[in-house]
Amino acid sequence: MGDEFDALLELLELKDERRTGWVLRGIESPESVAAHTWGTATLCLFYADRAAVDRDRAVAMALVHDLAEARTGDIPTRAADADDTRSPPSDEKEVLERNAITELLEPFETDEWLTLWEEYEARETPTAQFVKDMDLLDNCLQALKYERESRYDETEPNDAFTEYENLDEFFATAAPRLETSVGNALFEQIKTRYEQEIGRDCKI
């Protein structure tokens, strides 16, 4: 049981692990990885029926989808990853995260949670595709929230965000990766609200 508690304590560090994308953008008091996980799971709870996927499985998948980051840290997805030296190649990231979550979940003596994580990563089932869309939409909703609350200084020089204005990059990152009709419909609604906030069309 001690090993389980050690694993739990490491996993709970996600409560304090700040999301790198917001840190790079200079957001004041940015959310943690755990807060993002909660947001994704909540979206799954509310929209799984609309997407015709199993709600319980989707919520469980959302809860495990970022557990590896307790050990690897939050590696951001950027609109131009090829030019971003902060992010390792995607295959290297996958290996790092697979090794991390396998070790973190080992004390719990079940393959159920690892199987959910692998399904999410493969993105081959309707449930995994839906959960990934909710993961992306949580980013967009958070961008809308930060924009409304003026949680960053857009006049400050920021080498990490030179191509995109405001928080457009978070929408640009999400748009080409959405796979479900529910995800795309919600994205358009969130983007419209965001454009109303910034007073122009979002660059994606």
17-23 mean pLDDT:
96
Specify if 185 maps to a domain. Answer: yes
pLDDT in tens, 72-96: 999 887 655 534 444 445 678 889 9
pLDDT in tens, 26-80: 999 999 999 999 999 999 999 999 999 999 999 999 999 999 999 999 988 765 5
Specify if 203 maps to a domain. Answer: no
Specify if 96 maps to a domain. Answer: yes
Q: In terms of Cα–Cα distance, which of 120, 137, 116, 123 is closest to 47? A: 137
pLDDT in tens, 107-140: 998 999 999 999 999 999 999 999 999 999 999 9
Q: In terms of Cα–Cα distance, which of 144, 119, 142, 134 is closest to 178? A: 134
- pTM for the model stands at 0.92
Total tally of structural domains belonging to the chain: 1
Specify if 159 maps to a domain. Answer: yes
Q: In terms of Cα–Cα distance, which of 35, 26, 17, 15 is closest to 139? A: 35
For 37, the domain range is: 2-198
Specify if 50 maps to a domain. Answer: yes
Say if residues 10 and 70 touch (Cβ distance below 8 Å): yes
Cα separation, 16 vs 83, in Å, equals: 28
Specify if 204 maps to a domain. Answer: no
Specify if 126 maps to a domain. Answer: yes
Specify the CATH number for the domain of residue 78.
Answer: 1.10.3210.10
Provide φ and ψ at 65, rounded to 5°: -65, -25
